[in-house]
Chain A
Amino acid sequence: MKTYDVAIAGGGVVGCAVAWYLAHFSLDVLLLEKREDVCCGVSKANTGILHSRSYVTPGTLKGELHLRSLSWFSQAFQELGLKPLRCGALTLAFSKEEAQHLKVLQEQGKIEGASILSPKEVLALEPRLNPKVYAGYFDPETMVISPFAVTIALAECAALNGVTMHFEKEVVFVEASWDHLLIHCASGERYAAKFFVNCAGIGAPQLAQNIGDVIPPLCFFRGQYFVLDRECQGFVSHVLYPVPTEESKGILVSPTPEGNILLGPNFEPVSYENTATTIQGLEEVEKGARKLVPEIPLDKVIATFSGVRPALPKRDFYVAFSLRLPSVLHLAGIESPGLTACFGIAEYVGELLGKRGLPLREKKNFQSRVPPLVFRECSLEERERLIAEDPDWGKIVCRCEEVTLAEVKRALRSSPPARTLDGLKRRTRVFAGRCQGGFCGMHLPGILERECGLSSSDIRKSGPGSFYVLRKGEVAPDAKVC
């Protein structure tokens, strides 16, 4: 059995960032993910805000890693081929008391170009804001990015630089054996590694417990969202925050790099990882969003979703070595701003492992990821050239987001590959447009079968039970005619 230098459990943004960071060094790295793809956990359903220095929580590990991560941004985005939307943010106060808080944010951030604005100035920047606004804090550093894009780019860049990834491998137990660790998966496989990093997100405390460590149990806070049609692009042009509370950053109105507008999240305790949306929750989001932008076009909603924050009671990140096995590192409670902080978390994990003896020798031939071409973003000339090379660039399979067959095929071949319709959606934006699969959902199964060599039973939305369609004959008739 091959002994890896490091094995990571969890293919969320944190696990993938750790894999990507370690891929910079001459190491054998293994990533084990319980689900069929990366980005199936908390990392798939969040606001996608890259929070600025003003939103660093002082005196916490969360704040420290958040700050560290910010200094990674330019290198990371270049290596990963990512383009965040540099839109800046406005935090809006609706009373004198709230306005006090804006000063705190400004003080906290000390960001060049940031300023506190009068209602007139705020409305000049965002004319559709609630005119009752009392004051606003403008922060040019805040950015928005697609959370799928980050996680998938990290995974692809890690794979490109030699990280091995296995899916549908749930780590259930880790034990010491001679000079290495034996990692047991639910499906029976075992892997050997010198170090193990538990990035299992919501599954982290359970895994720690199986190993014999104690992490306080997580609390779950759900956040629900509306996604508005791309048609609304430009309705607002900054991330709009209310004044944050102790609990959360509040219900935002935010543009996205794809041109949609996102409303949410609310903050509601739930007893388990329950990602259903509810009438009450969505009403709360609507109210929150309308407080900032009264005329927000809610008739342009194309989708609703929710995410669950896995928080520790102290509301801080937990990163600590196991008390039982000294080469096992646990991460838990990675709630917001876990996406923003992922590069800092990864570097910190690398340092901690280094201190315990992991040799960190930088690779000379680290390769940056070349992002896949997106038909919708290409000029007519580029499109013409692409189609001449491969006619599949001329076959549109998603009418709303103008995704081509070539992009779908590339996503199926990429490493790690899309293995489900959700995986395709996160890589290409099929199913993500205004018709929500009304068009691609009818044509894709046939195309996948005929042109991509899949069989209908391989076509799933996500996990093993999520079959998309059945073949005729798979159903037993039991009807009666009267």
Chain B
Amino acid sequence: MISSRVLCIVCPLGCQIEVKEKDGKLSFHGGCARGKSYAKQEVTYPCRMVTTTVSIRGGEIPRLPVRTSRPFPKDRILALMEFLRSFEVEAPVKRGEVLFRNLLGTGIDLIATRTIHRLEKEGEDSREA
């Protein structure tokens, strides 16, 4: 029998839920119903929304913030970061734009979270009031 504990973050109470496995069947001890379903997810297929930045060429700022379209499998997050290290886009980019489909074969996409215009030529700023 294997047991592990999950710290529930669904509500501020922060219960500890004990998860036991016996003959391939899971049982949960402690916490409420919502907590138990969270715990199940955590022990079977934990996922996290990943947010980071990628390089952007020709933009007003050097980094484009991005996120995954859905929570991403936790055990593959570092592989995703490795993949994104060399990933680059070209300005302009609009918020919500899908930058890459099916990241590492997960079916999850990469989404821009900020609109970045192309860098304008010199001399255009907010000089007039």
Q: A residues near B, CB below 8 A?
A: 391, 472-473, 477, 479-481
Contacts and interface: CB of A to CB of B under 8 A. Distances in A.
Interface stretch (B7-15, B24-32, B73-81, B102-110): B73-81
B75 A477 contact: no
Interface residues of B, number: 8
Of listed A473, A477, A479, A481, residue having the most chain B CB within 10 A: A481
A472 B77 CA distance: 18
A479 B85 contact: no
A480 B127 CA distance: 49
A481 B78 contact: yes
Contact of A473 (B77, B81, B85): B85
Contacts of B78: 477, 479-481
Q: Which applies to chain A's interface (DSSP): helix, strand, loop or mixed?
A: loop
Contacts of B74: 481
A391 B82 CA distance: 42
Interface string B54-80: 000000000000000000001101100
Nearest to A394: B127
A391 B126 CA distance: 12
12 contacts: A391-B127, A472-B85, A473-B85, A477-B78, A477-B81, A477-B82, A479-B78, A480-B78, A481-B74, A481-B75, A481-B77, A481-B78
Nearest to A395: B125
Closest 4 CB pairs of A and B: A481-B77, A481-B78, A481-B74, A481-B75
B77 to A, nearest CB: 5
A481 B77 CA distance: 8
Contacts of A481: 74-75, 77-78
Interface in B33-55: none
Contacts of A480: 78
Contacts of B81: 477
A213 to B, nearest CB: 55
A473 B82 CA distance: 11
Contacts of A472: 85
Nearest to B63: A472
Contacts of A479: 78
A477 B82 CA distance: 9
A480 B74 CA distance: 11
Contacts of B127: 391
B37 to A, nearest CB: 21
Contacts of B85: 472-473
